[in-house]
């Protein structure tokens, strides 16, 4: 994350907020990607369960769950941005909106999923870091 006002960062926050509202039983503001993300929630929840087996989905903090759902959608389904950037953003959003332990929990679940998926986190694409002209 370059700064809190980066449009990509703000877009991720909006998506997490929409998933949070949806997870609590309502959707106040849908984002452009919302319907696409929700379509994959059952598969994403399986990924979360496999990587946080001691935490049933309904017991995971709703913000943490929303961050994880969005992050896994971006990592495994959208596949547009470098994994390192997506992971760093997830941890930052968890720190900003979650509890004191959210960033550690989110980082652990993502780390476990990355190891199992063999996703190359070290690949660096300049796309995400290029200044937009």
Say what the pTM is.
0.87
Instruction: Outline where the chain has alpha helix (H).
Output: 7-23, 34-39, 41-51, 62-73, 83-97, 102-117
Residue with tokens 């070290």, as numbered in its chain: 122
Burial per residue of 40-55, b for 16 or more beta-carbon CB atoms within 10 angstroms, e otherwise: bbeebbebbeebbeeb
- The DSSP line for 94-126 is HHHHS-TTHHHHHHHHHHHHHHHHT--TT---S
pLDDT reading at 126 higher than 80: no
- Please calculate the CA angle 29-97-44 and round it to the nearest 5 degrees: 65
**Contacting residues for 90 by C-beta, under 8 A, at least 6 apart:** 67, 68, 70, 71, 106, 107, 110
Structure tokens belonging to residue 18: 């929409």
Tens of pLDDT, residues 67-77: 999 999 999 99
Tens of pLDDT, residues 86-124: 999 999 999 999 999 999 999 999 999 999 987 777 755
pLDDT reading at 40 higher than 80: yes
According to CATH, the topology of domain 7-117 is N-utilizing Substance Protein B Homolog; Chain A (1.10.940)
Percentage, residues of the chain above pLDDT 90? 76
């Amino acid at each position: 994350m370059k700064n809190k006002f980066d449009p990509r960062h703000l877009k991720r926050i909006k998506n997490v907020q929409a998933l949070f509202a949806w997870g609590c039983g309502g959707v106040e503001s849908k984002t452009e990607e919302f319907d696409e993300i929700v379509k994959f929630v059952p598969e994403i929840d399986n990924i979360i369960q496999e990587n946080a087996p001691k935490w049933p989905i309904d017991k995971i903090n709703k913000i943490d769950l929303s961050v994880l759902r969005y992050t896994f959608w971006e990592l495994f389904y959208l596949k547009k941005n470098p994994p390192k950037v997506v992971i760093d953003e997830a941890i930052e959003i968890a720190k900003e909106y979650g509890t004191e332990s959210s960033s550690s929990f989110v980082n652990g679940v993502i780390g476990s999923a990355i190891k199992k998926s063999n996703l190359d986190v070290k690949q660096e694409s300049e796309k995400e870091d290029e200044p937009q002209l």
